[in-house]
Amino acid sequence: MLGNGFSCRKILAIVGPTASGKTRRAVDAAVALNGEIVSADSRQVYRGMDLGTGKDLEDYGNVSYHLIDVADAGDKYNLYQYLRDATCALADISARGKVPVVCGGTGLYVESLLKGMRLPEVPENSELRSSLSGKSLDELKAILEQMKTLHNDTDLDTVKRAVRAIEIQTYYRDHPDEAVGVNSPEPLPAVIVGVDIDRDSRRALISRRLKKRFEAGMTSEVERLISEGVAAEDLIYYGLEYKYVTLFVTGAISREEMERGLETAIHQFAKRQMTWFRGMERRGFSISWLPYDLDADEFTARCVELYNGSLR
């Protein structure tokens, strides 16, 4: 039993940048270890957002997965909800004698979960929001930098995100007893495997995958979401594919601008993902990096070896 109130078997976490093939690797490892997948992807939680988030559900075969399709498109699923739901999934998988396999590229979710972090539910602060109304993103960034160390740019993607980040930090400051899980987390037992891919190979795979997604109907997916009532601004909020494709289908940019801008944005995103995972190593996490093009059986065998070796 962990200090954070639940029992959890040792976790195998498989991380890496987008297009590195980590989902297939995680599924293979889950089969070998009698495990189940707990997704750590901040956008695969949304129903109906399939091509743009690269769910590739066919890759899972008979392996059960959690934290995919748990929120409606248009919602603002957040870190608090993720940690709440992922913790429940880990406890459930462990209680049934299976191995939890965490897989995803959202570094904030992976690190916060493995840290054992618990977050209070932060309500909206209308008075604070009113006082921040009209401030530029740079002004909000300056305020946020005074409140916490910024490890990444996620909180600064949009004005809305920055305001919410300030709102959360203000709540932590004013309710220190509720924020104890933020300041004094108890790490979960885990073995972390990283999918190591060089920059050129990563860029080639990203470009190839993006082309396939367009061919599979990613633009039509966004049009469907809008026709079902999901606001364009909510899709833009999700960033990357949904931002650029929405701007295109609403006439804000041309197809050429969409394709060129999106490809550049995904390459930049993959670079930020790797920066995050390297930062995790500096912050005390041990990650065993395995080549992305390692034979599937050998990759799985190495994962099993690392996992079982950690139990001795």
Walk along the chain (312 residues) and give the pLDDT tens digit of each residue: 454 556 799 999 999 999 999 999 999 999 999 999 999 999 999 999 999 999 999 999 999 999 999 999 999 898 999 999 999 999 999 999 999 999 999 999 999 999 999 887 888 999 999 999 999 999 999 999 898 877 556 667 678 888 988 998 998 888 887 765 565 578 999 999 999 999 999 999 999 999 999 999 999 999 999 999 999 999 999 999 999 999 999 999 999 999 999 999 999 999 999 999 999 999 999 999 999 999 999 999 999 999 999 987
Same-domain status, 142 and 45: no
Q: Which of 267, 237, 260, 235 is nearest to 249 (CA)?
A: 235
Same-domain status, 156 and 53: no
Same-domain status, 190 and 177: no
Three-state SS at 234: helix
Dist. CA 46–CA 72, nearest whole Å: 5
Residue 271 lies in a domain: yes
Residue 34 lies in a domain: yes
- Copy the structure tokens of residue 46: 């949304």
Same-domain status, 108 and 221: yes
User: CB count, 10 Å around CB of 162?
Assistant: 22
Q: H-type helices in the chain, by residue range?
A: 22-33, 79-95, 107-115, 126-132, 137-145, 159-174, 180-183, 199-216, 218-227, 232-237, 240-249, 255-282, 296-310
- Given a contact cutoff of 8 angstroms between Cβ atoms, the answer to whether 197 and 20 are in contact is yes
Q: What are phi and psi of 242, to 5 degrees?
A: -75, -30
The CA radius of gyration of the chain, in Å to the nearest whole number, is: 20
- Given a contact cutoff of 8 angstroms between Cβ atoms, the answer to whether 90 and 11 are in contact is yes
First to last CA, the chain: 19
Same-domain status, 221 and 300: yes
Same-domain status, 151 and 203: no
Look at residues 136, 159, 184 and tell me which one is the last residue of a structural domain: 184
> How many folded domains does the chain comprise?
2
Look at residues 184, 201, 221 and tell me which one is the last residue of a structural domain: 184
Same-domain status, 136 and 275: no
pTM (two decimals) = 0.87
Same-domain status, 233 and 304: yes
Three-state SS at 10: coil
pLDDT in the model for residue 119? 82
Sign of CA dihedral 87, 155, 22, 261: positive
- Given a contact cutoff of 8 angstroms between Cβ atoms, the answer to whether 175 and 120 are in contact is yes
AA letter at 112? S
Same-domain status, 179 and 190: no
Neighbour-count burial for 143-159, b at 16+ CB within 10 Å, e otherwise: bbeeeeeeeeebbbebb
Three-state SS at 209: helix
pLDDT in the model for residue 154? 60
Q: Which of 5, 15, 71 is nearest to 38 (CA)?
A: 15
- Given a contact cutoff of 8 angstroms between Cβ atoms, the answer to whether 40 and 102 are in contact is yes
Same-domain status, 142 and 276: no
Same-domain status, 161 and 248: no
Q: What is the CATH number of the domain that holds 245?
A: 3.40.50.300
Look at residues 151, 168, 184 and tell me which one is the last residue of a structural domain: 184
User: What is the span of the domain harbouring residue 244?
Assistant: 11-118+185-310
